[in-house]
Amino acid sequence: MILFITGGVRSGKSEYAETRALNLLSRKKHDRLYYIATSHIYDREMKARVEKHQHQRAKSGANWQVYEQSREIDELLPKFQEGDVILLDCLTTLLSNELFVGWEINQEKWKSNDFIRELEMKMKRLFTEMAVSSYSVFVVSNEVSYDLPVKELGTNVYMKLLGRLHQFIVSLASEAILVEHGLPCFKKGGEGSWLES
């Protein structure tokens, strides 16, 4: 099952997702809690953000098992079992890592329509598998399309693909929540609605 949580930068979405994952863990008496971190640490600000999330998880007292996996999330799925609670943070970074793979050696795969189509299908297969699984997945993402239109081609390709993936994941999700200013706004389902299923 999937619960989708999105919002702007610093909206409180990650904290909300962590709280919901911990609440589900305590209600269902599961003991396997996973965190899939998709970020690379590439500057001081990102290092501080990662450390903040690490501190929050440590402060929770829960036994988070962390996988740092910037790409190929599907490789992790065989590790998860019925009843596990998984938090994937975040889709926007994962998609960027997958779409712009090879940028550091001047590869521009993202310019190929075939590559974009294959990546979209790969991501849809990943989330379809999560949606029909016997474990629970909290997917965190960012709203990037609220900004002014951009003319840079790579950014446009990325934003359009992210928008399509958001719609697809929401169609699969039991709950879809937009977090604004730390407040959850339910777009699909209601808090805990998927526990009855």
Q: What digits encode the pLDDT tens for the residues 110-146?
A: 999 999 999 999 999 999 999 999 999 999 999 987 6
Q: Return the percentage of the chain with pLDDT > 90, whole number.
A: 67
Please report the pLDDT score of residue 29 as a whole number: 64
Q: With 50 as the cut, is the pLDDT of residue 182 above it?
A: yes
pLDDT confidence band for 159 (50 / 70 / 90) = very high
Q: Are strands 175-180 and 2-7 parallel, antiparallel or unpaired?
A: parallel
pLDDT confidence band for 183 (50 / 70 / 90) = very high
pLDDT confidence band for 187 (50 / 70 / 90) = very high
Is residue 7 within a helix (H) or strand (E), and if so which, with residue range? strand 2-7
The full set of domain ranges for the chain reads 2-192
**Integer CA distances (angstroms), 141 to 4, 11, 80, 130, in order:** 8, 11, 21, 16
Q: With 80 as the cut, is the pLDDT of residue 56 above it?
A: no
* Cα angle, residue 183 at apex, residues 159 and 190 outer, rounded to 5°: 90
For 118-133, b where at least 16 C-beta lie within 10 A, e where not — what string? ebbeebeebbeebbeb
Distance CA 98, CA 119 (A): 8
Please report the pLDDT score of residue 116 as a whole number: 97
Fold type of domain 2-192? Rossmann fold (3.40.50)
- Sheet containing 64-68: which strands, arranged edge to edge? 64-68, 33-37, 85-89, 136-140, 2-7, 175-180, 183-188
Q: With 90 as the cut, is the pLDDT of residue 1 above it?
A: yes
Please report the pLDDT score of residue 174 as a whole number: 96
pLDDT confidence band for 192 (50 / 70 / 90) = low
pLDDT confidence band for 193 (50 / 70 / 90) = low
Please report the pLDDT score of residue 104 as a whole number: 75
Distance CA 78, CA 52 (A): 29
- CB count within 10 Å of CB 3 equals 24
> Of 16-20, 25-29, 110-114, which range is least confident?
25-29
Distance CA 24, CA 112 (A): 41
pLDDT confidence band for 51 (50 / 70 / 90) = confident
Q: With 80 as the cut, is the pLDDT of residue 55 above it?
A: no
Q: With 90 as the cut, is the pLDDT of residue 53 above it?
A: no
Q: With 90 as the cut, is the pLDDT of residue 151 above it?
A: no
**Integer CA distances (angstroms), 177 to 8, 14, 71, in order:** 12, 12, 24
